[in-house]
Structure 1
Amino acid sequence: MNTILKRIDPRRPFTITASGLRRITLGAVVEAGAVQGEALGASLAHAHGAARGAAAVKPRRTTQAPQRTLLVVAHTDRGSLDEHARQTLAAAALIANAQTQVALLVLGELKDDAAVLGADKVIELASFDRRAFAPESELQALAACVAQLAPAHILMPDNATGDGDLGRRYAAYARASVATHVAEISGTHVATYVHAKKSFATRALPDIVLLATGAVDPRLPFVGAGERLEIPSLVAASQSASTPYRDLGIEEIDAAQVALEEANFIVSAGNGVTDVGAFEKLAGSFGAAIGASRVAVDNGMFTRDKQIGATGKTVEASVYIAFGISGAVQHLQGIKDCRHVIAVNLDGSAPIVKRANLSIIGDTQATIASLIEAVGLARAARSQPGMPSTEPVAEGVAA
């Protein structure tokens, strides 16, 4: 005997919940006619628009006069804070009470909206460059900022790109208490993993907190004041610092030699890439590292060390471009910490498109060919007299 299962008609009458979700009314039947369909569509669009508008407007964390300060210190990369720095700033905003202001000392130029990230005061020292090695100048600038603001605590990302080193240097310089690799933080204590991450060690909130990556969600339900603050003494202190070090610059290496876990710019191929040679040429033009989906690796297109995902490598690139990758949940897990995700795919409903910050719905090979041509034209333009030619194209894309 054949069993017939009735499909639930998605056009049946529904109500809109407070969160903007559509809830189908069971037992009701839709009458044929375009008028009711249009009315339902209009009500749904209105409800979703209202939900988006409510989500876009966030309240100020506090409007009270500050009695104390939490100071966050971080380097910028091409004018932006990376995900780790954003997490650290969010941590300070989350543990601050109504009488506490969150001040952000930025070493480098800042183009981000600091208020959205949770900062109440922003001190920008644009003369510093993350790619330059000037520990003594940064230390003196930080000391001058602390003398001016007298923060109760200082929070910094515990990374290998300057912030972690500066935090440890200042702790030794000021003889301050410090906690490193902090995986949990509150207004009263911090905690870090011990015994091969089988347990936590806790202590009272120290003078300096070096926060581990992934400890805090940077998405905040509120905003800060975001006011710019000029402190001339910081610039003077950093310029007067003498240093025994000589910066020899950064040695450029082939992007293909960079480990995927450390790569800042990654182009990744999936089953939709049919011309591997053209894809590798594009990666070379961009100066980007090469990654791949599990399917592409299983098909023999790339070696296993290029696989990105839950069963491969987890990456934290500033820019991640996925060519012809549908976006299985395992792959999305591997790129969850990437800052800007760009998807190139024929399927506009693919999971990778929903995750991406920017999507190109089109043929993968045609897009690769167009990008190679565009990069070539950009390099030719930069090589003309009067045009700078030292900045890599990859940095321009990542900005």
Structure 2
Amino acid sequence: MNPIKRIDPRRPFVIASSGLRRITLGQEHVAGAATDDIPRLGAHGEREKPRRTVEQAGRVLLVAAHSDRGALDEHARQAVAAAAIVADARTEVVLVVFGELTDDAAELGADKVIELPALGRPVFAPDRAVAALKACIAAFSPAHVLMPDNATGDGDLGRRYAALAGASIATQVVEIDASHVGVYVDAQRQFASRAWPDVVLLAADAVSSKLPFVGAGERASLPSESAAECVVDTRDQLYRDLGTVQLDAADVALEEADFIVSAGNGVTDIAAFEALAGAFGAAIGASRVAVDNGYFTRDKQVGATGKTVSASVYIAFGISGAVQHLQGIKDCRHVIAVNLDASAPIAKRADLTLVGDAQATIAALTQAVTAARGAQPAPGTASSRATLNEGVAA
């Protein structure tokens, strides 16, 4: 018979917000030790991460990436983490964001952050982006530049810069350490490594974005002389950005939709639900029950047996949240649930839960959205495209 394992009461502890003592793992607590020696907990009961130590930084690793509505995607976060992992105590990690950044830069592992909001998505200005990257590199003189090797602008920008500057580059890098980077070659049948090049384009999932430490997270700006180099004479360009044109949400596949409203068994007025989707300009999804009842076609079903979606906003009306449905929305950024049952499984996944009748909420939202839009031109119309192009030209 195995004896019951008991916790040594002399182990280190912290005082929680409730005033109770919580024993933690680690070295034994010494009576009378200074308060600074006692581990602290974060806002949610997690131990706060230590700050990465940088002593007289004489070397810089620069990371460049585009943001999406103020946030970096997972691939870009991995690129920042890769730089923070290989950085030693004399190396500073500088993050250049094409667009705005609302994420916690310190949590990402960056020591300094420079935002370039005028070059964020969906602006297509590759010449200006390359000029801005060159200006940042001239200002900080980094040892290496790391970028995510994606198809949404960063991979193209890294290749353009390397070609124009005559810099060495490694693409689709799957392994890094302090001395070399590694890639797959020969149709991924062989593995090759080389010394660090000037530009490193990191493949997805090469490293984990979760770090055991944080960076300084200081906001910085380019010197005026470097910022002036970002300006490119658009009159000499062979192309012009005409902006983006929004498609009808009904024509967008659920897998590619950025905004989805989904109906479940709690939605009884389908016409009102579709009117709300039209007012929002959102794609329509449905639970399996709603599809089985014949209210929606099978291509609208969200879940393990339907479509897996990755929308920025997903609003679920009258959906309890079966395991299959939750699996289908696991990659959504923000989930909002409208349900009469506050203890429904969907409430655990949702970032915001509104406890109320789905039909009443749909009617109120439709009225509010219609009133807020007022006389604004509908998305995708000629007038809205003209307004957008005027703004881009300005």
Q: Would you say same fold, with TM above 0.5?
A: yes
Unaligned runs of 5+ in 1: 1-14, 21-41, 384-388, 392-399
Among all aligned residue pairs of Structure 1 and Structure 2, give the percentage whose two residues are the same amino acid: 62
Alpha carbons of 1:189 and 1:55: their partners in 2 closer, same or farther (altered >3 Å)?
Answer: same
Q: What corresponds to 2:3 in structure 1? A: none
Letter in 1 for 2:46: A
Q: C-alpha deviations, 1:2-58, integer Å up to 9, x for none?
A: xxxxxxxxxxxxx9x99x9xxxxxxxxxxxxxxxxxxxxx78898999675552633
Q: C-alpha deviations, 1:182-235, integer Å up to 9, x for none?
A: 55555543446986x8x7745345443334455554443322111122212442
User: How many angstroms does 1:258 deviate by?
Assistant: 1.8
What CA distance in whole angstroms lies between the structure 1 residues aligned with 2:256 and 2:115?
27
Secondary structure, in 3 states, of the residue corresponding to 1:268? strand
Letter in 1 for 2:114: I
1:222 aligns with 2:213: yes
1:343 aligns with 2:337: yes
1:372 aligns with 2:366: yes
1:203 aligns with 2:203: no
1:238 aligns with 2:224: no
Q: C-alpha deviations, 1:88-128, integer Å up to 9, x for none?
A: 32333334333322211111233333222221111122222
Letter in 2 for 1:344: V
RMSD: 3.6
Q: Is the 8 A contact 1:125 1:235 kept in 2?
A: no
Q: What corresponds to 1:144 in structure 2? A: 135
Equivalences for residues 350-389 of structure 1 within 5 A: 350-380=344-374
Letter in 1 for 2:181: H
What CA distance in whole angstroms lies between the structure 1 residues aligned with 2:363 and 2:205?
37
Secondary structure, in 3 states, of the residue corresponding to 2:229? helix
What CA distance in whole angstroms lies between the structure 2 residues aligned with 1:215 and 1:260?
28
Q: TM-score, normalised by structure 1?
A: 0.74
Match for residue 189 of structure 1 among 160, 181, 188: 181
What CA distance in whole angstroms lies between the structure 2 residues aligned with 1:61 and 1:314?
38
Q: What corresponds to 1:99 in structure 2? A: 90
User: How many angstroms does 1:316 deviate by?
Assistant: 2.4
Secondary structure, in 3 states, of the residue corresponding to 1:164? helix
What CA distance in whole angstroms lies between the structure 1 residues aligned with 2:54 and 2:252?
46
What CA distance in whole angstroms lies between the structure 2 residues aligned with 1:56 and 1:382?
48
What CA distance in whole angstroms lies between the structure 2 residues aligned with 1:331 and 1:184?
35
Question: How many residues in Structure 1 have an aligned counterpart in Structure 2?
Answer: 350
Q: Is the 8 A contact 1:185 1:191 kept in 2?
A: no
Letter in 1 for 2:124: F
Alpha carbons of 1:51 and 1:161: their partners in 2 closer, same or farther (altered >3 Å)?
Answer: closer
Secondary structure, in 3 states, of the residue corresponding to 1:57? coil
Q: Is the 8 A contact 1:328 1:351 kept in 2?
A: yes
User: How many angstroms does 1:277 deviate by?
Assistant: 1.8
Q: What corresponds to 1:25 in structure 2? A: none
Q: What corresponds to 2:37 in structure 1? A: none
Alpha carbons of 1:219 and 1:302: their partners in 2 closer, same or farther (altered >3 Å)?
Answer: farther
User: How many angstroms does 1:132 deviate by?
Assistant: 1.7
Alpha carbons of 1:275 and 1:208: their partners in 2 closer, same or farther (altered >3 Å)?
Answer: farther
